[in-house]
Amino acid sequence: MTLLDFIYYFVLPLLSISVILIFIRFVIGPHMVDRIIALDLIVTAGIGFIAAYSILFNQPAFLDVAMIMALIAFLGTVAFTYYIQQKKDK
């Protein structure tokens, strides 16, 4: 089994199942924090998809896109937590 076969038959299906489960958590999450974490995990799974695509089709430029998405997701999570903290302080 080569790396490409491993990505096709294990990594991509596992990422797909995880996105479905995370989306369910996003929809039924009882608290705002659950939804923020689920949204961050969906972006992280998207980064995994981009990395797998980059490896499968030998496109290293997409790894830069994945890094930029990771930075944006981190800043978004920090902004959401700041918003929640400010909301609780009032």
Query: What distance in Å separates the CA atoms of residue 36 and residue 70, rounded to the nearest whole number?
Result: 15
Q: How far apart are the C-alpha atoms of 71 and 18, rounded to whole Å? A: 21
Average pLDDT over residues 7-26: 95
The H or E element containing residue 36 is helix 32-56
User: What is the C-alpha separation between 72 and 12, in angstroms, rounded?
Assistant: 23
Confidence of residue 87 (pLDDT cuts 50, 70, 90): confident
Domain residue ranges in the chain: 3-89
Is the model's pLDDT at 86 over the cut of 90? no
Question: For residue 14, is pLDDT > 90?
Answer: yes
* The model's pTM: 0.86
pLDDT tens digit sequence for 29-76: 888 888 989 999 999 999 999 999 999 999 999 999 999 999 999 999
